[in-house]
Structure 1
Amino acid sequence: MGQDRIWWRGVVAAATVGLVALAVPGPAFAKEGPDLAAVERLVTDFADQGGYPGIAIAITKGDQVVHVGGYGHDSSGAAVTATTPLPAASLSKSFTALAVMQLVEAGKMALDAPVRGYLPDFRIADPRGARITVRQLLNQTSGITDGTLPEKSLPQPDSLAAAVVRARDATLAADPGTRYSYTNTNYHLAARLVEVVAGEPFAQYLRRHVLDPAGMQASATIDLTPRDLPQDVREGHIYAYGASIPLAEPKRFVNGSDGVITTAEDMAQWLIVQNNAGKSANGVPLVSAESIAAMHTSSDPRWTYGMGWDIDQEGRVRHNGVWFTYTASQLLLPSGYGIAVIGNSGIGLGNEGTDQLADGLATLVAGGKPSSGAPIRLIVDLVVAGLTLLSLLLGLRNLRRTQAWATRLVTRPAWRLVLRLLPRLVPLALLVMLPDLLSQVVAAGRDITFVQLGYYSVALVTWTTVAAAMNLGVLGTRTVALVRLRRSTGTTPVPEASAQLAAR
């Protein structure tokens, strides 16, 4: 842990801090902005606390870039800079929503028309699916949920067309338009809608109509991780016991939902589009100001999600992004500031992503002093490590006492012995149910596989595995010891009253 921090601080000290020239023609950097030394302190403190080896940020105001920069290093040891390509994760949904709004403005589709009218192949295993509208996909109110279509647990498609086919097994958790439920499937379908209506692959459409006009030449979108990741996108990290471990993203279909690869420089251009009434830094219109406002606003007071954007408790417009090896956040402030953050480590117990850093930067640009939290991620892992060690020691102690335990209880009725041993299966049941439990308790019903759970928390999976293994070992050895002892001594269970006396 200490060596990791020394290495991290050495890299940070060597990283370039300052303004980075934009890769495409655009407006000059803003003359006023936050204290860059304060920005560096905030970013590096957050990185230390959250276990992020590298972080890239972008800060804009109106149509101007305030600051773009990178801090720390990637999994190859190279410095993270403003031009380092990084996954934007679910920030990608805002790109898909804008592409849909372009086609709406062009009169090629209507937000409140059924999806099936534009996408004839769209069928689900619920007759109500015929009523799902374009707006409901973008609002995350289609009725499809991770519970009715577990998109991470199912076999992964390799194209948007295949994602539509996979969705045919979906049912609805609620009538379309009546309940908000976040799922990547809605945005897989929305991206396929763009393909079909525009008559070109989604990646090509996004390049020609969104990324290039916005001045985001270094950005792209992919179908499948890790297969389609560009070679210059390094592995992200998972976190365990104070160490950040490089690891490839698990296989997932991400196009339309969380497949955009970008840079801090390019994200600055994206923030400008959002805060500049739909126009790029060079004045190129991507969508109207009305469409931008519609995407940033919930269409129903029952939920806060707009179209590819959410509204937080302070009324600010934002969206976060989560891969298992990267996290990201984008935040738009009423003052005209835009903030984007991408970090090269996944979420986990004690770390729910980069929103805390985005909020700290928002406080900083407003002239406030951000609060710095404790290193919760490390504390949580150390507590779980202590529980793991305790489970191991208790298991070993019980294994050593197996013969004495069997000798003492050999005359007990069989049903009472079963009741004593049955709780030993609880840790195994917990291990088997852990993905579902975590999904309901932590992830608001989002789907997760057991392998992905290992990415989320090595410490938690290790603890439950050790506890299950030790308890199964105790259960097995005690059962064998009882059987052998009864066979060797010819002992038979005594009536319950006698057994109670014998036990005294």
Structure 2
Amino acid sequence: MKLLLALLLLPVSLSVSAAMPEVDRYVEAKMADHLIPGLALVVIREGKVVHRRGFGELGTAQPIIIGSLSKAFTATAVMTLVEAGKIDLDAPMQRYLPASTFDDPGMAGVTVRQLLNQTSGLPADAPRADGHDASLAAHVAALRGVRLVSTPGTQHLYSSPNYQLLGRIVEVVSGESFGDYVQRRVLDPLQMTSSSTKGAGNAAPGHNLWWGWAGPSTYRWEPGRLPTASIVASADDLSRFVLWQLGGEPRILSDESRALLHRGVGKSEYFSYAMGWREGTTAGVPSLWHGGAVPSYRGAVVMIPQSRSGVIVLTNMSTMFADHTREIAAGVVASMEQGPRPEGFRPLRQVYALVAVGSLLLLGFAVHGLVRALRQPGGKEKWKIIAFDLLLPLAAIVVAPRIFHVSYRAMWEGAPDITLTVAVAVLLGVVAAVFKLVRRQDTVIGRT
């Protein structure tokens, strides 16, 4: 009896899965091209799951940290409060964040709708609070000194802090933590039982690529970034969310509010940003889509509202060099719609072959320089050794993060192999410079 009841509670749409050998072969080929250790795929047609399969290390029931796919859940949570009359989309956000003060007076005019549509003018590199365990309130407080780069409402600029602010608004208005509210109002009604806003303890192991090898990841789950990056979900659970987005039950929002989530407003070159979704085309087909990436995990979701279809692709690997999940999802959509698959993507195995060769060359030059410093006295004048061999590399290490707006932590988490290679090469260069100075000093003393 209990088994029968459990089966009845499962969405009927998840019980059907047809073989799609051509799609599976395509996915397997792309996994080999992009060095992907594990991938979960779900295909939806006409409001039903027609194919679901795990490849390699990742199954469709295994959750990962879904990155910016979290934004669609944040937008949904905000709209539930709009329908409850607790949030006005066109009210200034500071109506709901009275304790928040910003140095830029333009921030006072940013509305909730502009945050959702990513047209607030907040820069993409707006600061975050330090530490993996920083709270959502701390991340919002870190925005105090931020300066808008465009007039609110005039330009789309994708900036994750928009959704951090939205998450904090949810907390203030609802009186609950963001995670608790999303769990109660979105995840639980959709029976997303393997999803979590409390931690990533049940997530599949994630990977960084170390010179082309799927190795361990240094990334840790960040609780304060739930609204923009840290929700944990499986492909099966995301299929329930997508089915609801495509018009399914339960009634979390009215049809009008659900349609508003999908209406593109923030105009970009190839799409319009809606609310947690991009409205544009995928493989030439009108679609709503979004990607999500954190170090060691990556995902993509495509929805085709006209046919109530969709594709979900999750992987337990991420890299700074390519969006492999978006490419694979587009290829699956092309197969579904019998159109040409996207081309022009360079396989990551080729990219990482170059990374490996470049790393070996860089370390080889560094070792060669150290050996020469140990064997040959004299050489450059003292000031040149200090300026070019010692201070210049150290200055580059200090200045580079400021130029590229990336922290040392982000570099280590996103590209540990390159970061380690450069660090070792610089260290060897500094040691060589010190030996040059010591040998030169000894040589000068010997001459006198």
TM-score in same-fold range (> 0.5): yes
**Are positions 1:488 and 2:434 aligned together?**
no
**CA displacement at 1:320 relative to structure 2:** 0.5
Paired AA for residue 108 in structure 2 = A
Q: Per-residue displacement from partner, 1:364-386 (whole Å, max 9, x unpaired)?
A: 11124646888732333332332
Counterparts of 1:170-181 in structure 2 under 5 Å?
170-181=146-157
**CA displacement at 1:436 relative to structure 2:** 4.3
Partner residue, 1:89: 67
**Are positions 1:295 and 2:261 aligned together?**
yes
**CA displacement at 1:212 relative to structure 2:** 2.9
**CA displacement at 1:244 relative to structure 2:** 1.1
Paired AA for residue 23 in structure 2 = V
- Structure 1 residues not aligned, in runs of 5+: 1-20, 74-79, 223-227, 440-447, 491-504
Conservation of the 8 A alpha-carbon contact between 2:262 and 2:288:
yes
CA distance in 2, matches of 1:126, 1:237: 40
**Are positions 1:317 and 2:288 aligned together?**
yes
Q: Which residue, 338, 341, 366 being the options, matches 2:310? A: 338
CA distance in 1, matches of 2:45, 2:239: 10
**Are positions 1:72 and 2:56 aligned together?**
yes
SS in 2 for 1:220: coil
CA distance in 2, matches of 1:41, 1:86: 23
Q: Which residue, 98, 112, 127 being the options, matches 1:150? A: 127
Q: Per-residue displacement from partner, 1:384-432 (whole Å, max 9, x unpaired)?
A: 33233223333333344448865566xxxx5xx6347644354444433
Partner residue, 1:348: 320
Q: Per-residue displacement from partner, 1:269-310 (whole Å, max 9, x unpaired)?
A: 11112222xx32xxx322233333332233243573221112
**CA displacement at 1:327 relative to structure 2:** 0.6
CA 1:248–1:399 in structure 2 vs 1: closer, same or farther (change >3 Å)?
closer
CA 1:469–1:200 in structure 2 vs 1: closer, same or farther (change >3 Å)?
closer
CA 1:487–1:239 in structure 2 vs 1: closer, same or farther (change >3 Å)?
same
Q: Which residue, 394, 397, 420 being the options, matches 1:431? A: 397
CA distance in 1, matches of 2:330, 2:367: 47
Partner residue, 1:450: 408
Conservation of the 8 A alpha-carbon contact between 1:330 and 1:339:
yes
Q: Which residue, 349, 357, 382 being the options, matches 2:353? A: 382
**Are positions 1:418 and 2:383 aligned together?**
yes
**CA displacement at 1:169 relative to structure 2:** 4.2
For normalisation by structure 2, the TM-score amounts to 0.86
Partner residue, 1:59: 43
Root mean square deviation, CA, Å: 3.1
Conservation of the 8 A alpha-carbon contact between 1:56 and 1:70:
yes
SS in 2 for 1:354: helix
**Are positions 1:213 and 2:213 aligned together?**
no
Partner residue, 2:3: none
Partner residue, 2:11: 26
CA distance in 1, matches of 2:364, 2:316: 35
- Bigger mean CA offset, 308-317 vs 128-137: 308-317
Conservation of the 8 A alpha-carbon contact between 2:17 and 2:49:
no
Q: Per-residue displacement from partner, 1:217-251 (whole Å, max 9, x unpaired)?
A: 332323xxxxx32x322331111123212335235
CA 1:300–1:91 in structure 2 vs 1: closer, same or farther (change >3 Å)?
closer
CA distance in 1, matches of 2:335, 2:384: 59
> Which protein has the larger Cα radius of gyration, Structure 1 or Structure 2?
1
Partner residue, 1:502: none
Q: Which residue, 112, 116, 122 being the options, matches 1:134? A: 112
Paired AA for residue 434 in structure 2 = G
CA distance in 2, matches of 1:453, 1:36: 39
Paired AA for residue 150 in structure 1 = P
Conservation of the 8 A alpha-carbon contact between 2:301 and 2:310:
yes
Query: Across the two proteins, how many residue pairs are aligned to each other?
Result: 435
Conservation of the 8 A alpha-carbon contact between 1:387 and 1:463:
no
Conservation of the 8 A alpha-carbon contact between 1:61 and 1:272:
no
Paired AA for residue 139 in structure 1 = N
Conservation of the 8 A alpha-carbon contact between 2:62 and 2:194:
no
CA distance in 2, matches of 1:91, 1:22: 28
- Structure 2 residues not aligned, in runs of 5+: 1-5
Partner residue, 2:241: 270
For normalisation by structure 1, the TM-score amounts to 0.77
CA distance in 1, matches of 2:373, 2:219: 43
Q: Per-residue displacement from partner, 1:152-200 (whole Å, max 9, x unpaired)?
A: x634564434444343343433333334333332212212212322333
**Are positions 1:362 and 2:338 aligned together?**
no
- Bigger mean CA offset, 115-124 vs 309-318: 309-318
CA 1:430–1:208 in structure 2 vs 1: closer, same or farther (change >3 Å)?
same
